[in-house]
Amino acid sequence: MKFKNFLILMIVLLVSLSACAPEPIEEPATAEEEQTDEPVESVEEVDGLPQACLDDAFGCAVIPQGETIKIGMGAPLLGDYSMFGTDISQGVSLALQVDDGFEGWTYELVAEDTGGAPEAGAAVANKMVTDPTVVAIAGHIFSGSTEAAMPIYEKAGLPMMSPSATEPGLTQQGSKVFNRLAFTDADQGMFAANLLFSQLGFSKIAVMHDGGSYGQGLADVVQAEFEALGGEVVAYEAITPGEADYVAPLSAVASTGPEAVYFGGYAAEAIVMMNQWSQAGLDDVLFFGCDGTYGVEFTDKTGANGEGAIAVSLVPPDSEEKSAFDQQYGEQFGVEAGELSAFSWSAFDTGGVLIAAIEKVAFVEGNNLFVPRGALVEAVRNSNYVGLTGLVKCDEVGECNASGPTFYQVVDRVWLPLE
């Protein structure tokens, strides 16, 4: 009797297996169907689609009157990386808010929590592509989450503009939709190594990172470039992020006698390290950070200990627009721009770039706003926009920061551009 039971189950399993098997034969067809899935749905909603939409490879996003043009975002809004997500979503939403809209349609940011995890990044992406009024993605924030989300947006034809995903490999995969404002670790590392060796004249440095993909990527580049230039990297050490005490690894680094310490990582660890600088016996050693360590938080929280530290930012020195943004940001969110993360300004620009691109391709017909998706993907790639971070002009793989990094040094508790 029991065996019969088993047999039945096996048969069911087999049936479902065989049901599974032949399907991929029709795969090419279904795949295409899937790609044009959403536009087709919108076709049913609207009679007589404009020619531009029919021509477009991905069709159009159709936004009826009264609805908003949505820009999606996958960001760590909860959990221990929530500062980044909160800050960037605030920056982008401010950009959408100050814009006066397009022909009566306003913009709205739809930020979903990823917790910073790649898995959740893919989940959010899958959610974004099901909303037909989402036209572009600001983000994602971390490289892992971006990596996981890219193929999904690629299929749906949603252009991405990340203010903060720096992993060099992201733009090397031939993605049409992915662009970023952040400069890659490779570029930044090269500039940093050059500065350290040629301009500042150091020959012995130590390289440290926080064990994350961002920090490690930078550290590796700096190490390689510095050695290529003829310098000596006397210590290479990683720390565990989120700890209270880095005296031990810093002391170990100090004992090798470096002239400067390069650190790839974020402000939280950099601040703790700076405050323990003299405890570790690194008094006369220069701290050289990256764009993750730049920002008011660093100067605020290191005080006198942070004096002389160097960091990088894609934000050019103070401009009028920047001070206006800083003021508005502070008023609206109760924290200073750059206090939560170093990405407030690039987040604002991300929003600006996307809006500019949308306004280039969108058009109104009847009561609907049409955004041709394929055209938008191209428009973002062809952006030519001047924002807080300077010129935004994407190259053929989607590296959009055209103005290069600016180096800053803490002098009297303020970041001043380094000559």
Partner 1 sequence: MITAIKDGLRAGLITAIIFTFLILIGFTSVAANIIGDILGNPQVLNNETRLPVGNLLIFIALVGLFTGLVTLKKGSNPPWTDVLFRGLTGGILAGLIVGTVIYIVGSFHMEGVDFRAYLPNLGASQLGYLLFYSTPIAASKTYLLYFTVFSLVGALARKTLTMLTGLRNKLKSIKSQIIDWSDKKNFHSLVGNQLFQAGLIILVGIGLYFLPLVWGSYWNYIMGTVAIYILLGLGLNIIVGFSGQLVLGYVAFFATGAYTFALLTAPEPHAVGLNLWVAVGLSTLVSILTGLLLGLPILRLRGDYLAIVTLGFGEIVRILIRSDLLTPLTNGPKGVTNVGQPIWRGHVFSDVNYMHLLMLLVLAGLFIAKRLKDSRTGRAWIAIREDQTVAQATGVDTYKYKILALLLGAAFAGLSGALFASRNQFTGPEDFALMVSVNVLCIVIIGGMGSLPGIILGAFVLKGLPELLRELADYRLLAFGALLVVMMIVRPEGLWPGQNSKKGKMATFSNSLGEDNLEEKV
Partner 2 sequence: MIKKFQNLNITWGTALRYIAGLIVAVYLLWRILQTTSIQGSYGPDTWMRFLITGLVIGGIYSLIAIGYTLVYGILFMINFAHGEVMMLGTFAGYFVLEAFAAISAPGSGDQSLSLLNAYPFPALVITFFVGASVSALIGYLLEKIAYRPLRGAQRLIPLISAIGASIFLQNAAQLLFGPQRRQYTNPDLLWRGTGWMIPVGEKSVMLTYTGTFSFILSILLMAGLLILVKKTRLGKSMRAVAENKQAAALMGIDVDAVISKTFIISGFLAGAAGVMWGIHNGLFNHYVGFIPGIKAFTAAVLGGVGNIPGAMVGGMLLGLLESLGPAILGIDFQLKDVIAFTILILVLIFRPSGLLGETLKEDKV
Partner 3 sequence: MKLPVIETQNVTMSFGGLTAVDRVDLVVPEQSISSIIGPNGAGKTTLFNCVSGFYVPIEGEINFFGKKIKGLPTHKICELGISRTYQNIRLFNKMTSLENVLVGQHPRMNSMWVESILRNKHYRQQESQALQYAYELLDFLGLSDLADIPAFNLPYGAQRRLEIARALASQPKLLLLDEPTAGMNQQETAEMTSLIRILRDERKMTVLLIEHDMRVVMDISDIITVLDHGQKIAEGKPAEIQSDQRVIEAYLGPGVDEITKKFNRKKTNNAKS
Q: State the residues that interact with partner 2 by CB under 8 A.
A: 78-80, 82-83, 86, 211, 237-240, 242-245, 247-249, 251-252, 254-255, 268, 271-272, 275-281, 297, 300-301, 303-305, 334-335, 339-340
Residue 277 interacts, among partner 2, partner 3, partner 1, none and using kind-specific CB cut-offs from 5 to 8 Å, with: partner 2
Could you tell me which stretch among 18-26, 286-294, 305-313, 410-418 binds partner 1 (CB under 8 A)?
A: 18-26
- Give the per-residue contact string, 155-194, with partner 1 (x = CB under 8 A; - = no): ------------x-x-------------------------
Task: Kindly state whether residue 97 participates in binding partner 1, applying the rule CB under 8 A.
Answer: no
75 membership: H or E segment, kind and range: strand 69-75
Q: What tokens does 308 get?
A: 């002389």
Among partner 1, partner 2, partner 3, none, residue 365 binds (CB under 5-8 Å by kind): none
**Gyration radius of the chain over CA positions:** 24
Q: 19 or 304, CB closer to partner 2?
A: 304
Q: Cβ(163)–Cβ(184) under 8 Å? A: no
Question: Does 118 engage in binding with partner 1 (CB under 8 A)?
Answer: yes
Check: CB of residue 351 under 8 Å from CB of residue 163. Answer: no
Q: Choose the one of partner 1, partner 3, partner 2, none that binds residue 297, judging by a C-beta under 5 to 8 angstroms depending on kind.
A: partner 2
Question: For residue 154, what are its two tokens?
Answer: 């690629």
Q: Which of 243, 244, 263 is nearest to 253 (CA)?
A: 263
Q: Using an 8 Å Cβ cutoff, are 380 and 136 in contact? A: yes
Window of 6-14, 242-250, 279-287, 369-377 that interacts with partner 1 by CB under 8 A: 6-14
Tokens at residue 76, please?
Answer: 């760590």
* Cβ neighbours around 127 below 10 Å, total: 15
Smallest gap from residue 239 Cβ to partner 2 (A): 6
Q: Which does 223 bind (CB under 5 to 8 A by kind): partner 3, partner 2, partner 1, none?
A: none
Closer to partner 2 at the Cβ: 86 or 184? 86
DSSP at 307: T
Distance of CA 236 to the CA centre of its chain: 26
Residue 256 within binding range of partner 1, rule CB under 8 A: no
- Least CB distance to partner 3 at residue 16 (A): 19
Q: Nearer to partner 3 by C-beta: 3 or 320?
A: 3
Q: How far is the CB of 10 from partner 3 (least distance, A)?
A: 11
CB 117 within 8 A of CB 149: no
Footprint of partner 1 on 378-417 (CB under 8 A):
none
Peptide bond preceding 209: is omega within 30 degrees of 0, i.e. cis?
no
The footprint of partner 3 on residues 1-60 (CB under 8 A) is 2-3, 6
Q: For partner 1, which residue of 56, 87, 147, 154 counts as binding (CB under 8 A)?
A: 147
Tokens of 341: 């993360």
What is the per-residue DSSP string for 157-207? T--EEESS---GGGGGG--SSEEESSPPHHHHHHHHHHIIIIIS--SEEEE
Question: Which of 63, 129, 206, 221 is in the footprint of partner 1 by CB under 8 A?
Answer: 129
Q: Find the shortest distance in angstroms from Cβ 9 to partner 2.
A: 31
Written as one letter, the residue type at 291 is D
Amino acid at 193: A
Residue 238 to residue 250: CA distance in whole angstroms: 10
Do 193 and 229 form a contact (C-beta atoms < 8 A)? yes
Q: Cβ contacts of residue 186 below 8 Å, gap of 6+? A: 168, 217, 221
| Contacts to partner 3 by CB under 8 A | 2-3, 6
| Contacts to partner 1 by CB under 8 A | 1, 4-5, 8-9, 12-13, 15-17, 19-21, 23-25, 27, 30-31, 34, 77-79, 112-113, 116-119, 122-123, 126-127, 129-130, 143-144, 147-148, 151-152, 167, 169, 211-213, 215-217, 236, 238, 240, 333-335
